Amino acid sequence: MSDWACSVCQKAVPLPALICTMCTETPTYDCDTKCRDRHQTRQIVYRTGALRQGIFYAFREVAFDIKIKKVEKIGGKLHVYEDSYTDDKNDGPLYRFPAHMLPDDEDKAKLLVFSACNDAFAYTFELAATLLRDISATIEEVNIDNVNRNDTIVKYVSTGIVDGTPYGHNAIIVDIKPELGGKSYAFDLAGAQNGQLHAVVPFGEFANKGGEVISQIHPHGYFRDLGERIRQGKQSMLETREPRVYHVQHNIHQRMLAAVKEWEGENKTSLRKLVRSTSKGFIDGKASLLARVSTEMKASVVKWEQEGRHLEPFTPLVVSFAQLLTEKVEECTVKPQGGGSRAYRRFQADKKRRGRFPASMKEFTTAEGTTFKFL
């Protein structure tokens, strides 16, 4: 036996020791192939999260759709003031991300992903499907209620009032295959808006921070398909959302996927190989990929505007917030096997505590200035 402890079970490692090929810069020892596979699976999970979050942040910086007038930081919170929008088609639908107002990288991340957690699903779906398919037993998308976003960001609409809309939050929950450890993780790419900056969090830690309730659970791809139906005019959307956003972001997304393929071809590698490479190989490869993808996405927006596509008319199916309150919500569209995933079991356990909106909220005022009261 050696003096080294196994990275997974913490037992003494027998000689000759197994060394993780993904951790050659800082040797990591495993006692057998079973522990080695579990250790490498954990590495793949966290690298997948880092890669998807990096690409999503780059996407949001290019595809930012909030018109910001001013940002202040008071008592640790960001106070974000939205500018007024016009009916002029030359106004938007994308706006410059105000990086100059946010010298702190953590604050930058918070505003980048504000109210964009569904986008994190929709525009990194292919990346998650590719990188997690070999190690996941289930991949599901969940909606979370009772998330107090005002602890991080307070948003003011153009009239100066606080936007009191009860936003939920979304994340992807992945159960790893039993033979690879069977652990569960939350991929929370947009968690920065709630003060959670990590791309990946163990599910138990994610779901038990303080009152969170899983209000919806769906198969991986549900919110991507929902956005596509809205873009095609087949699904209703809130009247406060600029419909052209769905079209330009779809265009950026397509260019992003093409850039990933081009990068893979030029570097004679793949994303799956990248997350399984050495530490240095992953860091360097990730930086190279993000630079390429960011450049291509920016170019796609310039081309889209030069072609005048931002002026194209689009008539979506729109609803008011009042109408939205009466629409039937699909809470669960998964078809669980056996007892279901860990997220599904939590969804079932949360039934008694679950409501359409946070139970503690007696009233709220929407961005349009309309106040709703719950009796």
- Positions in the chain short of pLDDT 70: 1-8, 10-33, 87, 89, 146-150, 210-211, 235-241, 313-328, 354-375
| 56 and 13 part of one domain | no
| 150 lies in the same domain as 10 | no
- Model pTM? 0.86
Alpha helices in 63-116, H assignment, sequence order: 105-112
Which residues pair with residue 139 across a beta bridge? 174
Write down the pLDDT at residue 64: 95
State the pLDDT at residue 332. 93
Both tokens of 179, joined, read: 């033979």
Number of domains in the chain: 2
CA distances from residue 30 to 10, 41, 91 in whole angstroms, order as listed = 9, 13, 57
- The answer on 42 and 3 residing in a single domain is no
Express each pLDDT in 235-273 by its tens digit: 666 555 677 888 899 999 999 999 999 999 999 999 999
Whether residues 6 and 149 share a domain: the answer is no
Same domain for 22 and 42? Answer: no
> Do 18 and 39 belong together in one domain?
no
What is the extent of the structural domain holding 22? Answer: 1-31
Q: What local confidence, expressed as pLDDT, does residue 322 receive? A: 54
Q: Which two tokens stand for residue 4?
A: 């080294």
d(CA 286, CA 279): 11
Indicate if 46 and 27 belong to the same structural domain: no
Domain co-membership, 143 together with 203:
yes
Place of tokens 């796609």: 300
What pLDDT, on the 0 to 100 scale, is given for residue 372? 47
Report residue 170: phi and psi, to 5°.
-130, 150
Same domain? For 49 and 195 the reply is: yes
143 and 8 assigned to the same domain: no
Distance from the Cα of residue 121 to its chain's centroid: 6
Helical spans, DSSP H, in 149-278: 203-207, 222-231, 244-267, 271-274
Q: Based on the fold, state whether residues 13 and 153 are members of the same structural domain.
A: no
Torsion of CA 37, 45, 134, 173, to 10 degrees: 130
Check whether residue 289 and residue 337 sit in a common domain: yes
The confidence score (pLDDT) of residue 360 equals 42
Q: Which among 66, 278, 34, 226 has a CA at the least distance from the CA of 156?
A: 66
Q: Which amino acid is at 13?
A: V
Q: What are the structure tokens assigned to 226, written together?
A: 């929902």
